[in-house]
Amino acid sequence: MDTLLVAGATVITPDGHAEALAVRGGRIEHVGTVTECREALGRVDEELALDGGVVHPGFVDAHCHPVMYGQALAWVDCRPEVAPDLDTLVSLLAETARRLPPGAPVRGFGYEHRRLAERRHPTAHDLDRVATDREVYLMNASGHGGVVNTYALRQYGITAGMPDPVGGRIGRFDGGEPNGELWDAACDLLTGLDGVKIRNHGPNFHLSEPADIMIEHVRRAQEVFLAAGVTSVGDAQVSRRELETYLWARDEGALRLRVSAYLTSALLDTAADLGLAGELGDDRLRIAGVKFYADGTLGGWTAYFPDGYAADCCHHGQLYHSPEEYTELIGRAHRLGLQTATHAQSPYAIGMVLDAVEKAGPPYGMRHRIEHSGLPTDEQIGRMAELGVIPVMQPQHHLRTGDGTITAVGELGHRYNPAGLCAAAGVPVVFSSDAPVAQPDPLEAVAAAATRTTVLGTVLGGPELRMSVPDGLRAHSIAAAGALRREHAVGSLEPGKLADFAVMDGDPTTAQPAELSAIRVTQTWIGGRIAWSA
């Protein structure tokens, strides 16, 4: 077996700090002094002398979309920092259209309508300025929808007479004509006759491309995750497209991250027919559970508020399923022994999840998850603790869209991502990126949770909502591993665990929030082998 000695470093352990790490056969043999680690190994095949570096457990991103992220990286970057207004946005898309072959679709990602100078969504008419002879698709930063041009509306047969699908919304002009916006389940319309259909089981971003292109998306995405020190991920919406891509990448030796896949609930019947009961796979690729949706996104005003939004009492958002249907779905997954992960943002949707988990009954050790869990009430946080439900939050969401959330829901928006309240109630808080909604950057997430200050300078809520830097680091490592039910293997540097770690040029555990942005990852190791180096 290959042995590795990591020395000359500050090693972050569950109990504090050590000076060396001994690795045998891809697993940690010992953590302690250099002398202890040499003695534990006997023969040292490779020695990593870091000369003052800091060794931190590999970060775990428990909720992200690596394939979609790689795809978005190949599209036109339309984030507010790049495209602050509609003219710039159209210009960037048009420039790409001129470089593409005739008829090839033009796709962009990342616009946030509240941060555009015009303070509105683009429309089909805006995107007609890009091209009228091919599809133009601009995905919102939330990933829950976007805008297409008139050509695409006609290509996919989206007309004024078409009703909104269950769990989705077709944007319309005042006269009823489609305005190009497609939200949540309505995104199914863009996948064509032969594409992946998930119906009212989530926003459909599963656009088909050839296998070699899909694998390239994975390669591209992995580079960014690894550069941030992330070694394990939970893909929080896996259709046939994603699962096939991961299998292809693994077979070609291109799958470097450890991937826990959460099948879209549209595949629940398939999973049951196959006899899937619990986890399936290995340390590199495994099916971990099932992803559900209760409501939509706060950014697109599709999260469900039955009494209306503060900014528009006539706007309610929507549910993907009725409470009765959703409860039956969760019960089926629970009886199959499958962990569930449900997207829920509004208090109503979060309550739906808790009611369904409670009704599903024991065993409560399933660790059912609430993804985002944006605006839980105090009572709901208490129920999470009682039921063993794990909220998987994204501090980078409130960093970038907290101001828009306050605009949408009023003062309630100051509670967005109440990590500190959850931790105080004994709920295991988990952080993640939701990439491509945010970049994989655990240190930015930890800083955002510690300050709760948005990019526009708004401080959200009081100090009771914040989490300290050390607690935030645990939320993005060992607690996140627990959300994947992998804490026995990853998330901390302890004997017997997989040797997944990030080497940094500073110690994040002793840094102030403002100092985290200056710390750089210099190397990332997975299974005792280097996976990325600066």
- DSSP secondary structure, 55-113, as one string: EEEPEEEEEE-HHHHHHHHHSEE--TTT--SHHHHHHHHHHHHHHSPTT--EEEEEE-G
Cα–Cα dist 360/366, whole Å: 11
pLDDT at 155: 95
pLDDT tens, 230-263? Answer: 999 999 999 999 999 999 999 999 999 999 999 9
pLDDT tens, 165-213? Answer: 988 899 999 999 999 999 988 998 998 767 788 888 989 888 888 889 9
Cα–Cα dist 406/309, whole Å: 10
- Mind spelling out the 3-state secondary structure of 451-482? HCECCCCCECCCHHHCCCHHHHHHHCCHHHHH
Distances in Å between the alpha carbon of 166 and those of 170, 206, 266, 321, 431? 11, 18, 14, 8, 30
Cα–Cα dist 109/92, whole Å: 11
- DSSP secondary structure, 139-165, as one string: EETTSSEEEE-HHHHHHTT--TTPPPP
Cα–Cα dist 193/125, whole Å: 25
Cα–Cα dist 289/271, whole Å: 10
Are 78 and 33 contacting, i.e. CB atoms less than 8 angstroms apart?
Answer: no
Distances in Å between the alpha carbon of 90 and those of 64, 101, 110, 126? 28, 18, 13, 7
Question: Mean pLDDT over residues 285-289, rounded?
Answer: 97
pLDDT tens, 296-323? Answer: 999 889 999 999 999 999 999 999 999 9
pLDDT tens, 66-114? Answer: 999 999 999 999 999 999 999 999 999 999 999 999 999 999 999 998 8
Are 110 and 72 contacting, i.e. CB atoms less than 8 angstroms apart?
Answer: yes
pLDDT at 1: 63
Residue with tokens 């605006």: 375
What is the enclosing helix (H) or strand (E) of 46?
A: strand 46-57
Distances in Å between the alpha carbon of 258 and those of 149, 237, 457, 484? 38, 16, 36, 11
* pLDDT of 286 over the 70 cut: yes
